[in-house]
A and B are shown apart, each in its own frame.
Chain A
Amino acid sequence: MSRKKNKYFLPLLGILLFLTLIAAIAFGAVSIRPDEMLSSLKHYFQGQRPASIYEAVFIQIRLPRVLLCAVTGSVLALSGVLMQGLFRNPIVEPGLAGTSSGAAFGASVVFVLSSSFSPELKIYANTFLVPLMAFAGGLIATFLVYTLARNARSVSIISLLLVGIAVNAVALSGTGFMSYIARDPQARDITFWNLGTFARATWTQFFITGAVSIVIFIYALRFSKQLNALLLGEEEASYLGVDTEKLKRRVMILNTIMVSVATAFVGVIGFVGLIVPHMLRLVIGSDNKKLLPASMLAGSILLVMADTGARLLLAPAEIPVGIITSIVGAPVFIILLKRSNILQKGGQHA
Chain B
Amino acid sequence: MLSTRNIHYQAGGKKILQGIDVDFEPGSFHVIVGPNGCGKSTFLKVFSGELKPKEGTVTYDGKDVFKMDKAKLAQRRAVLSQQPALFFPLSVEEVVMMGRYPHFDFQPGPKDEAICAEALKRADMADFMEREYLTLSGGEKQRVQFARVLAQIWEQKDTTRYLFLDEAISHLDLKHQLQLLTVARALSREGVTVIAILHDLNLSMSFGDRILFMKEGKMVAHVRDHAQVTTELIKEVFDVEVRIMRQGEGEAPVMVM
Residues of chain A whose beta carbon lies under 8 Å from any beta carbon of chain B: 2-4, 88-90, 222, 224-226, 228-229, 231-233, 235-236, 238-243, 281-282, 285-287, 289, 340-342, 345-346, 349
Q: Chain B contacts of A235 at CB under 8 A?
A: 45, 50, 81
Interface centre among B71, B73, B87 (most CB of A within 10 A): B87
Chain B contacts for A243, CB-based, 8 A: 70
Question: What count of chain B residues pass the 8 Å CB interface test?
Answer: 32
Interface residues, chain B, with chain A CB atoms under 8 Å away: 45, 48, 50, 70-75, 77-79, 81, 84-91, 94-95, 98-99, 101-102, 106, 130, 134-135, 152
Asked if A238 and B50 make an inter-chain contact with CB atoms under 8 angstroms apart, the answer reads yes
The answer to whether B89 and A281 touch across the interface, beta carbons within 8 angstroms, is: yes
C-alpha spacing A3/B71, complex, angstroms: 29
Decide: B102 and A240 in contact? CB cutoff 8 A: yes
Name A's interface SS.
helix
Chain A residues contacting B89 (CB-CB under 8 Å) are 281-282, 285-286, 340, 342
Q: By the criterion CB–CB under 8 Å, are B74 and A231 in contact? A: no
Determine the residue in chain A with the shortest Cβ distance to B70.
A241
Given pairs A285-B91, A286-B88, A349-B85, 11 additional interface contacts (CB within 8 A): A2-B130, A90-B87, A224-B106, A228-B98, A231-B88, A239-B50, A239-B74, A240-B152, A241-B71, A282-B89, A345-B134
Contacts A241-B102, A243-B70, A287-B94 given: A231-B48 contact, CB under 8 Å? no
Q: Which residues of B contact A345 (CB under 8 A)?
A: 87, 134
| B95 contact set on A, CB distance < 8 A | 232
> B50 contacts which chain A residues (CB < 8 A)?
235, 238-239
Complexed CA–CA distance, A281 and B50 (Å) = 31
Contact across chains for A342 and B87 when beta carbons are under 8 A apart: yes
Evaluate contact between A232 and B94: CB separation under 8 angstroms.
Answer: no
Give Cα A238–Cα B79 distance, bound, in whole angstroms: 10
13 contacts between A and B (CB under 8 A): A4-B130, A88-B88, A228-B98, A233-B84, A236-B84, A240-B74, A241-B72, A281-B88, A281-B89, A285-B91, A289-B106, A340-B89, A349-B85
- A286 to B87 alpha-carbon distance, docked (Å): 10
Given contacts A231-B90, A345-B134, contact A240 B98 (CB under 8 A): yes
**Residue contact B87 to A349, C-beta cutoff 8 Å:** yes
Q: How far is the CA of A281 from the CA of B90 in the complex (A)?
A: 8
